Amino acid sequence: MTQGAWWAVALREQVPVEKTLAVVCEGMDIVLFRDARGAVHALEDRCPHRRVLLSDGVVLPGGLQCPYHGWTFDGASGRCTDIPNLRRDETIPAKYKAQAFPVEELNGFIHVWLGPGEPAGALPSADYLPGQRERFGHAVVAISRRHYLDIMLDGPQHLLAFPGVQITDFFMGDARREHGHLVLDRGAIWRGRGPGPAFVRDHPLVLRTRVPQAAGAITVELLTAQELPLVTVRIAASSHRRGTIAICWRGYCHAGASVQEPWRVRLRRAICPYVRAPFTVHTQIDGAAIAALPVAPSLERRRGGIAGLSGMGAGDLHADSPACQAR
């Protein structure tokens, strides 16, 4: 990591008061916990004494206590505040310190600053403005972060789904760069309404994907052809261990979105509103389907160029590099 960045590493619901949560972000083991006031803290998930996992410890009023020898570390600074076998008049050396990370909580996500430098820049969830009833979740997925970002551009239908909606492979205009993200629109249709996808047709829906070039979160929006938002999903993805990624997500259906849905979709949602979520983020990925997916906008993302995608379908582009494969 050449420079520091904010990473969304967990959901607020995953870190209750006085409990610990072990996460892995970009290969770094981190323990998150809340103190009695509800403030979130982040430390390296290793005790500096014997490298035992601090996430197995206990949250005390003075900080997080290691389960091995009982050393306690302040959540904000990482400073060791108590060693049980020391006399009360003995001073704890300053070098006995766990690595602490700057942490911020915003819009339902918990963010940690990793890398050198002072924290700066907007948080990945800064422009996520939840509305209506949110859906959220988290998982470890058997794929690398680079491939996950690539597939979100080349074939997002393999990573998430919207009930009653078919995502097509027709790109609606060129990909474009916006604030450190590559943004691409593709056509989508209501299932069971009108003819199936064709090379040229008027698509009643637009799937817009915003994929970060470096750190940051993915935004997926389902829109009408008139740019009326229907569903918004924010997905944070960071590298875990052995080529996997940790993802956490939040999303919601916009007010009035049901008016745009076909009656069949509205009926299913009315019958079982708490079962029929407005979107699904896949936690199990079809490796064979991913391996067969043509490399399209993602190739341009890696090359640094975004020209030549207007009016083309994924089936019309040929990969000149190995196809993305699920790990």
- φ, ψ of residue 182 in degrees (nearest 5): -100, 125
Q: Does domain 5-114 have CATH number 3.40.50.300?
A: no
Number of C-beta neighbours around residue 241 at 10 A? 11
pLDDT the model gives residue 201: 66
pLDDT the model gives residue 267: 53
More confident residue, 164 or 102: 102
pLDDT the model gives residue 313: 45
pLDDT tens readout for residues 73-100: 999 999 999 988 887 778 888 888 999 9
More confident residue, 228 or 325: 228
Mean pLDDT in residue range 140-161: 96
Number of C-beta neighbours around residue 286 at 10 A? 12
pLDDT the model gives residue 135: 94
pLDDT the model gives residue 203: 87
**Residue 311 pLDDT > 50:** no
Chain mean pLDDT for the chain: 85
Q: Does domain 134-316 have CATH number 3.80.10?
A: no
**Residue 260 pLDDT > 70:** no
CA 303, 304, 308, 312 torsion: positive or negative?
A: positive
pLDDT the model gives residue 194: 53
Mean pLDDT in residue range 207-221: 95
| First-to-final CA distance of the chain | 22
Mean pLDDT in residue range 5-13: 97
pLDDT the model gives residue 89: 75
CA neighbor of 293 nearest in space, from 317, 277, 263, 312: 317
Burial of 296 (0-12, 13-18, 19+ CB in 10 A): buried
pLDDT the model gives residue 49: 87
DSSP per residue over 88-122, as a string?
TTSPPPTT-B--EE-EEEETTEEEEEESSS---S-
Express as a percent the part of the chain with pLDDT over 90.
Answer: 62
Model confidence at 314, pLDDT cuts 50, 70, 90, reads: very low
pLDDT the model gives residue 116: 92
Number of C-beta neighbours around residue 269 at 10 A? 19
pTM comes to 0.86
Listed in sequence order, the residues at least 6 apart from 239 whose beta carbon sits closer than 8 Å to its beta carbon are: 24, 25, 26, 27, 144, 145, 245, 246
**Residue 145 pLDDT > 80:** yes
**Residue 58 pLDDT > 90:** yes
pLDDT the model gives residue 309: 43
The one-letter code for the residue type at 4 is G
CA distances (Å), origin 280, targets 4, 11, 69, 252, 304:
31, 17, 44, 11, 30
Express as a percent the part of the chain with pLDDT over 70.
Answer: 81
pLDDT the model gives residue 308: 41
Model confidence at 321, pLDDT cuts 50, 70, 90, reads: very low
More confident residue, 125 or 296: 125
Model confidence at 326, pLDDT cuts 50, 70, 90, reads: very low
Where in the chain are the domains? 5-114, 134-316
**Residue 139 pLDDT > 90:** yes
The one-letter code for the residue type at 235 is I
pLDDT the model gives residue 266: 56
pLDDT the model gives residue 303: 66
Mean pLDDT in residue range 116-129: 94
**Residue 312 pLDDT > 60:** no
